[in-house]
Structure 1
Amino acid sequence: MTDRSSRMDEELARALVEVESRERRRMAEVLHDDLLQLLAAARLALATTDGQDRASNLLESAIRRGRQICRGMEPTPLVGGLDETLPRVLDAVYESHRVQTRLNLLASPRLSPIVHDILLSCAAELLVNVARHAEGSEARLTVEATNHWVTMRIDDDGPGFDLSRVQPGAHRLGGMGFPALERRIRALSGGLDWWNRQPKGASVMVCLPREA
C-alpha cells in the first residue's frame, strides 16, 4: 500500500511539474508574441521624427495587453453560479482572442468549488484553443446537468481536428494541450471526448461529477 501511495505521489508531482512547465512556456509565448512585439514597435516608432503619436498608441495597447495577461493569471472568482461566472470567462476570451461564443445554459447546477473552478478553466482553455489552433472565430458553449453530473460542450466553426496528430486509440492532440486538460478532468473522475462535425467544425465535451 505504501509503494502504491508513493507511486501516486510521484505521478502527482510529475503532473504538477509538467503543468507548471507548460504554463511557463505559454506565458513566455504570450509575452513574446504580444507584449514584447508591441513594445518593440513602440521603440522603433520613437526613433522616427514623426512617430510620437504612433508610439503613444502602441504603448497604450501594450498597457491594455499587459492588464489582460495579468487578469488571465488570476483565478476566476467563484462568486455566483455558472450563470454569472461563465459569461465573465466568455467576455475575457473575446477580449483577448476575439472568439465570439454563444452561451446555451440549460442548467446552472450547484457545484463543488473545485469542479466549478475546473469547469471554468476548461471553458477558457478550450475556447482559446478555438482561436489559436482550430482557426475559428465563433463557438457555442452548452451546459447541461443531471442529479450527479454536469456536462459542458463546445462547438466551433473551424475546419475540425487534424486526425493525423491523434495518437492511435486515444482522444489526445498533443499539440493542442489536451493531455494535460484530460489529466485534470480524469483526476476528478470525469471524462473528455471530442469529434469532428460535418461539413466542418469540431466539438469537445467535458463531463464532471457535480461533487468532487
Structure 2
Amino acid sequence: MSLFWRIFGLNALVLGAATALLLWAPVTVSVPVLITEAVILVAGLGVMLIANAALLRIGLAPLDRLTRLMTTVDLLRPGQRLEVSGHGGVAHLIRTFNDMLERLETERATSNARALSAQESERRRIAQELHDEVGQSMTAVLLGLKQIADQAGADLTAEIQQAQETTRQSLDEVRRLARRLRPGVLEDLGLVSALTSLTADFARHTGLKVVGRFDGDLPQLDRDTELVLYRVAQEGLTNAVRHADAAHVELTLRRTPRAVVLRIDDDGRGLGIGREGAGIRGMRERALLAGATLDIGSGRTGGTRVSLSLPTAEQGA
C-alpha cells in the first residue's frame, strides 16, 4: 500500500468511527449546548486527534529515520543503511535510497583511487625534481663555495663557512622533503624499515619523542597497501606535531589473528569538538582505498589515538 492510501485509510478509519457514533449512539446535542454534552464532544474530538496523531506517527516513522540518515550520512564512513521492511511505497523509497548510497560509495571509492594515484604520481615527480635539479644545483653551490674558501683570505673565511653551513642545511631540508614526498626506503627496504626511518626523522627534526614498535612477522602486503599504511602514519605524526601540542608519540604496527593494526597514540590535548580537517579526511580516504577501518578517538591516558585496522587475506577470505 502506498503512503497516500495508508494515510487516507487511517484518517478514514477515525472519521468513520466518529460518524458511526453520531449516527447510532443515543447522543443528542441540545440548543443551547449543555455542559455535559460539550464535555463529551470535546473529549471525543481529543480522542480522535490523539488516535489520528498516533496512527500518522506510526505510518511516517520510516520517513523520519530516512531523514535522519540523510542528514548524517558520510561517504567516508561506508555501510550506513536503513533496514527495509514491508513492500509498500515507504519500503521502496528506503530501498532506493540504500541503492543510491551503494552507488555513491562505489563511485567515491573509484574517484578517490584515481585522485590518490594522481597525487602519488605528482609527489614522485616533485621529489625527483627536488633531488635532481634543486639538490644538484645546491651541491654545485657547495662545491663552488669550497673553491672560493680555498682561495679567499682569512678575513672572508668565517663568512664563507657560514654560507656553506646555510647551504648544507638547505640541501638537507630539500633531501628530507624529497624523502617525505617519495619514500624510497619503502620501495627498497619495506614497510617496517620505512616506518623506522619515519619515526627517527620526526624525532630528529621536531624534538618530539617518538617511540616505534613494529612486528616483524607481518603478512605479505602489496605496494599500494603499504603506501596507505605509511601515509596514514605520516599524517598521524604530522597532526601530533602541528595540532596536538604533544610531547610523546607512540607508533605501533601489530599483526593480530584477523588484521594488521597501525596505531598512533599521542599525549596532546585531544580532538576537541572541532570538525575533521583535510588531514583526517585524507586518512579516511586512504583507509577506504585499502579496505581498512579508521578509528580516531581519545587515547588511554588522554590525547588522541588513531587506529587503522586492515583485514588480512585470511579474514577477507
TM-score exceeds 0.5: yes
CA RMSD of aligned residues (A): 3.7
Deviations 1:95-127 (A, max 9, x none): 343333212335631232222221122112211
Q: Determine which of 288, 304, 314 is the counterpart of 1:202.
A: 304
1:74 aligns with 2:173: no
Residue from 159, 163, 172 that aligns with 1:64: 172
> What is the alpha-carbon distance in structure 1 between the residues aligned to residue 258 and residue 289 of structure 2?
17
Q: What pairs with 1:1-212 in structure 2 (closer than 5 Å)?
A: 8=107, 12=111, 16=115, 20=119, 52-75=160-183, 76-79=185-188, 82-106=191-215, 108-113=217-222, 114-163=224-273, 165-166=274-275, 173-175=276-278, 177-197=279-299, 200-211=302-313
The structure that is strand-richer by fraction is 1
Moved over 6 A (4+): none
Q: Does structure 2 conserve the Cα–Cα contact (< 8 Å) formed by 1:93 and 1:124?
A: no
Tell me which amino acid in the other structure corresponds to 1:89.
L
Contact preservation (8 Å) 2:266, 2:299: no
Q: 1:174 to 1:18 in 2, by over 3 A?
A: farther
Paired letter, 1:88: S
Change (3 A) 1:69 1:85: closer
Amino acid at match of 2:247: S
State the structure with more CA Rg: 2
Gaps of 5+ in 1: 40-48, 167-172
Deviation at residue 133 of structure 1 after TM alignment: 1.7
* 2:169 maps to amino acid: S
Task: Point out where structure 2 has 5 or more consecutive residues left out of the alignment.
Answer: 1-102, 139-155
Who is 1:46 aligned against?
none
Cα separation, 2, equivalents of 1:205 and 1:10: 20
Decide which moves more: 178-187 or 68-77: 68-77
What SS class does the counterpart of residue 240 from structure 2 fall into? helix
* Deviations 1:153-197 (CA, angstroms, capped at 9, x unpaired): 11112111232x13xxxxxx215x111110110122211111224
Q: Mean Cα displacement is larger for which, 61-70 or 98-107? A: 98-107
Is the deviation greater in 71-80 or in 58-67?
71-80
Greater relative CO, 1 or 2 (CA 8 Å, sep 6+): 1
- The residue identity in structure 2 corresponding to 1:103 is G
Query: Offset of 1:20 from its aligned partner?
Result: 3.5
How many residue pairs get matched? Answer: 179
Corresponding residue for residue 170 of structure 1:
none
Residue 63 of structure 1 aligns with an amino acid whose one-letter code is: L
